[in-house]
Amino acid sequence: MAKLRLVKGGRKVYGMAGVGAVAVAGVLLASFLYLACTQTVEADEFAVRQIYLGPGKGVQRDLYGPGTHLVVPGYEKLHIFPRDLQVLDLNNTESQLARPHEDRRHAPAIKIQTSEGYQVTVDISVLYRVVDPYTVVTEVGAGRIFETTIVARRADKILRQTLGQLNAEDFYSDQTRMLKAESARTLLQEDLKQWGIQVWGVLIRDYNYDQRYQQAIEDRKIQDQKVFKNQAEAVAASREAEKNRVLAEGQATIDVELERGRSEVRKIRADADLYSRQRVAEGDKLVALAEAEGTRLENAALQQVGASNLVGLEMAKALTGTEVIIISTTGKGATNPLDLDTLLEGW
């Protein structure tokens, strides 16, 4: 839009273009004042206020949480600190390659002098957080200067002292190494709490001996493993012998029981056979006795009156179908066919 200018009574009069320019200037001024007079505290941060002028100047103890807070430029300022977990990584690899991160700082690995005089390079992570921003500002300073002047420096000293109590082989023991790490965390916590910092953990991530000792200790460990292997094989051999003995005893017990079973079977069969023969013999005896009794009764019957007639009848049955010869039974040369004694004499 073209700017219109009218002259009336010696004064300049501006049209719509002048009004727009004033509005833009007002917005810019308001934005500048907003940016200059406010500070934003993020969700994972908190802050303390410092006043530079007046009777109440100095760092105030009140904490300011997340949000946008009004500040007067030149008169006061908010010192903002992270309230989440911070990490100090002490290692040679990531300190050179990793990108900077606001919650993570890197420093060179610590070289520990062991109790025997060997040197061990240890990679360690220290987990901590700011719990008292007022103490940090008043005792250390504003900003993140506490990371280098307090945390990194004190951690280096205490870790060297604590881990230096280990001998070289203690680093191979997980339990011993973790106990010393916890001891270092306790000492570091006691040391840093005076600056408003809390230590959550000390993690030993890796360790490396100098090349000369590394080879020596690896050779010794291999030798120890061979000894353990031989001991394990000896124990395994004794266990195998014990197993074979138990199996042999078990098989012998099985064989004895099987033989005992077979013996019982033979005995049962022999008893059954004996019982069968006894029963058969008893039956034969009873049959024989019955036959003898029948013969006795027949003989007794034949000795009764009229038995001769029965004998004659039986003889007649025996002579049935034979040729009949009439023989005189009286007089000289007579034959009585019923006289068995006379007939038998002729035989």
Over residues 125-162, the pLDDT tens digits come to: 999 999 999 999 999 999 899 999 999 999 999 999 99
Distance CA 290, CA 301 (A): 16
Angle, CA of 264, 269 and 273, to the nearest 5°? 150
Distance CA 130, CA 151 (A): 11
35 band by pLDDT with thresholds 50, 70 and 90: low
pLDDT of residue 221: 73
pLDDT at 254 over 80: yes
pLDDT of residue 4: 44
Mean pLDDT throughout 263-286?
88
Cα separation values, 240 from 191, 223, 245, 251, Å? 58, 25, 9, 16
- As beta bridge partners, residue 63 has 48
The full set of domains in the chain, from first to last, is 5-82 (no CATH), 86-209 (3.30.479.30)
Burial zone of 81 (CB within 10 Å; 0-12 exposed, 13-18 middle, 19+ buried): buried
Mean pLDDT throughout 260-267?
89
Distance CA 108, CA 186 (A): 22
What is the token pair recorded at 294? Answer: 């029948």
pLDDT at 124 over 90: yes
Mean pLDDT throughout 47-51?
93
CB 96 within 8 A of CB 78: no
DSSP string covering 84-148: S-EEEEE-TTHHHHSPPBTTEEEEPPEEEE-TTS-EEEEEEEEEEEES-HHHHHHHT-STTHHII
Beta-sheet pairing, 45-51 with 58-64: antiparallel
CA 271 to mean position of chain CA atoms: 61
What is the token pair recorded at 217? Answer: 């200790």
Mean pLDDT of the chain: 81
| Dihedral pair phi/psi, residue 164, rounded to 5° | -70, -15
CB 82 within 8 A of CB 44: yes
pLDDT of residue 191: 95
pLDDT of residue 29: 57
Beta-sheet pairing, 67-70 with 119-130: unpaired
Distance CA 308, CA 17 (A): 181
2 band by pLDDT with thresholds 50, 70 and 90: very low
Give residue-wise pLDDT tens across range 176-224.
Answer: 989 999 999 999 999 999 999 999 999 998 888 877 676 766 777 787 7
Within 10 A of 158 (CB to CB), how many other CB atoms are there?
23
pLDDT of residue 7: 45
> What SS3 state is found at 174?
helix
> What SS3 state is found at 67?
strand
Exposure of 149 in the CB half-sphere (CA atoms within 13 A): 11
pLDDT of residue 181: 92
Within 10 A of 201 (CB to CB), how many other CB atoms are there?
15
Give residue-wise pLDDT tens across range 276-317.
Answer: 888 888 888 888 888 888 888 877 776 766 666 666 777 677
Mean pLDDT throughout 309-335?
68
pLDDT at 8 over 70: no
pLDDT of residue 344: 65
167 band by pLDDT with thresholds 50, 70 and 90: confident
Q: How much is the pTM?
A: 0.54
Cα separation values, 214 from 93, 169, 218, 224, 308, Å? 20, 10, 6, 15, 135
